[in-house]
Amino acid sequence: MSDVAGDFRRQLPSMIGMAGMFVATIFLAMYIRPWYDKAGLQAFGEAGASQLRYIGLELLMIFIFTAAILLLAKYKKEWVIKYGIMGILFIALLYASIPLAHQILVDDSVTPFEYESTEETEATYLTEIGMDQYLDTIRSNQSGELVNTIRLMQWGVDEPIWSTDILHGNVSYEFSELIVVPGPDWVTINTGAVINTLSLTDGSIVSTYDCFYYDNQGDLRPMVEVGCILATEIEDALYIVDAGERLHRFNIDRDNYPNQLSRQQKQATWQLPPDMKAVDVLVEAELLSDTSLLIVSEEYAGVVRLNQTAGFPEGGIYEPAHILIEASSEAGFTSSDVGYPNIADVPMNESTSGEQLIVLGTADGDVHAWSFEPTASMSSPDTLKEESGVSMNGFASEIRDVRFTDIDATGYTELLITTGDDARLLYGSSMVQRLIIDVPEGENVAVTFGETPQDIEDETIHFYATVIDGTYTTSSGVVESSMFLVGGLVIEDIPTIIGLLVSLLLMILLYVHSEWYVVNTVGILVGSGVIVMLGVSFVPTLIMVFMIAAAVYDAWAVYKSKHMLDLADTMMNLNLPILLVAPQDSDYSMRTERTTVHDAAEEPPRDAVQQAPRERVVAKSSDAMLMGLGDVIFPGMLVLSTLQYVGGDNGFIMAMTTLVGSLIGYSVLMYYVGKGQAQAGLPLLNGGAILGYIVGGLLTIGMAMFQFNISF
């Protein structure tokens, strides 16, 4: 036992040195990741980052590579192996040397966004319309009557697209707020006394209905039991929500009996869920189709099926409304938006299904998303389902606004989420952050990108942040390409030439002078390049699937079939050590070593503990510790994937816990190795990394750590 302990202490410097190279390889990958990020160099494209079949393809390629090497060695085709591997190593070196040269020599720092102007508007903000328009209102007293001037505005343009005056109605309180329900073609505005529906095209009044009527005694009575709170209009009906969370349908005939509404026209009544409140706590409402109404209150959000008939109330209890899909939040919903899905496969002008995405933000930083597709038949409900690919728990500590936008006018939308501090632009199905802009303080904000006629002429685009508090204040500034976190592929002449020359020099040295320091330099560069290339290509969930499969294969290949040892022997004998080397003595020479992996893997006698294997890819003697690059690459991939697809402070914290977890797994591995027990490296290293990722996720974003829209 004392001999084992002494041998362990003698190996400790090598173990520490190996851990240092392990960390250095991953940190180097982290350093060059921005170049890959800007270049969009996912191996299977942005959509492939969350598709399981590509992980299967990667595993298949590993099996084919291993089988090819062993088959060539069996038939004495060592020269094919040698020069083939040298070519692969050279290409792998370029994956690190060229990005590294660009990171060192090219200044690609992000230019901070700056607001250029701030304007306060003496009007009341109502709601957003589309991606870059909104409604506001100015209330005035004209000849003793309250009038609301409704205006459709475009961000960045002073004059309204159209404006329309509607009577407020003297029955309601003077300071009552307008409740607005936009739809596909028009918007319905309720003052509490009068319901007006306006065309979104030109602002013309489609219809006007009174919420009160005079009974036979001449007394004024409400049209529904507890007053009109929220209303929306379809072709043949007006739906009204009252203060008792009841939904009423009134049949209308706009062509033959325009603007006429009586209690005799009432068709049906339904009871809404008790938390679906429209008084004081309404966040937003929107007519999705002639049969679906979205209502978002502070604690409850849902899509209500607008049926045509209902059963008679029994004991004063109305039939429950048909809720197609629903969500609740104890912290409270703060915002919502409906738009063309940011995860759609085709641009919006090519979509024929009418698909939309409903996105909700909460006060504690969650994002809920539902896909919506209207049906052609009025008799069947629209299709709604939760969209896990966009839903995120713990995206931030707070969400103030969610918006769809199309900043690059490609027809594919992006998701713009405003947290307590900033607005974050998320691209594509993997929703990678591309732009982060500070947003002024304020509980109620609306942010968007917009192009004015001047923007089109100047080829610029503005960012607008509107803080809403009675009146509203809009700050704006120009978004420059240098402000984006990512861009296109950047290849400049001098860094590229330097990267090529460095790689070529290292390959020559590896061929003619394969000492341990040359091997380590090549190993660290190759390892970092492969780590970042695969790390940015797959979301963390798929990386973990890859790691588990590789760990199982590694254990089988080392303990059962032992063909991994044959593979290592072949590489060693051809002076192609794809590994890291940590010498125990300063005079160690790798070129003089000739002990094979199989020799070192044999169980040593008790009086020869110093000959014990040092790792899975076992040392050729007791003078150095060897580690295969795969043992660094797999944990490193999870670290890089976390930085790429979680992002922000949470992503960095999770990446660091992943790295710490892999180092803990490495320590356990070294404990067994130091005792002279041959071990497969990946089960412990990958297991530690995955546990570190889970711990970091639980500390930051919760179960959102697994939500990356995985598909087959």
Confidence (pLDDT) at 609: 34
Of the residues 252, 278, 311, which one is the last residue of a structural domain? 311
Q: What tokens does 450 get?
A: 């917009």
Name the most confidently modeled range: 347-361, 418-432, 675-689.
Answer: 347-361
Instruction: Please report whether residue 527 resides in a domain.
Output: yes
**Can you tell me the mean pLDDT for 443-454?**
90
Instruction: Please report whether residue 232 resides in a domain.
Output: yes
Between 400 and 486, the higher pLDDT residue: 400
In 3D space, the residue among 230, 341, 235, 237 whose CA is nearest the CA of residue 294 turns out to be: 230
For residue 131, is pLDDT > 80? yes
Same domain, 95 and 229: no
Instruction: Please report whether residue 426 resides in a domain.
Output: no
Instruction: Please report whether residue 414 resides in a domain.
Output: no
d(CA 548, CA 501): 37
User: How large a percentage of the chain has pLDDT more than 70?
Assistant: 87
What helix, strand, coil percent values describe the chain, rounded to 5? Answer: 35, 30, 35
Residue 273 structural domain: 169-176+185-311
Instruction: Please report whether residue 22 resides in a domain.
Output: yes
Of the residues 291, 311, 331, which one is the last residue of a structural domain? 311
Confidence (pLDDT) at 705: 86
Which of the four pLDDT bands, split at 50, 70 and 90, describes residue 568?
low
For residue 484, is pLDDT > 90? no
3-class secondary-structure state, position 604? coil
Same domain, 518 and 660: yes
Instruction: Please report whether residue 449 resides in a domain.
Output: no
d(CA 397, CA 401): 13
The gap from C-alpha 346 to its chain's centroid, in whole angstroms, comes to 19
Same domain, 83 and 189: no
Same domain, 98 and 234: no
d(CA 684, CA 667): 9
Number of domains in the chain: 2
Same domain, 523 and 635: yes
Q: What is the 3-state secondary structure (H, E, C) of 202-215?
A: CCCEEEEEECEEEC
**Can you tell me the mean pLDDT for 185-189?**
96
Same domain, 89 and 200: no
Confidence (pLDDT) at 82: 78
d(CA 180, CA 197): 10
Same domain, 539 and 687: yes
The gap from C-alpha 221 to its chain's centroid, in whole angstroms, comes to 51
What is the total residue count of the chain?
712
Same domain, 558 and 675: yes
Same domain, 87 and 195: no
Confidence (pLDDT) at 598: 46
User: In the beta sheet, which residues pair with residue 424?
Assistant: 417, 436
Of the residues 292, 311, 330, which one is the last residue of a structural domain? 311
Which of the four pLDDT bands, split at 50, 70 and 90, describes residue 606?
very low
pLDDT tens digits along 591-605: 665 444 444 444 444
Instruction: Please report whether residue 271 resides in a domain.
Output: yes
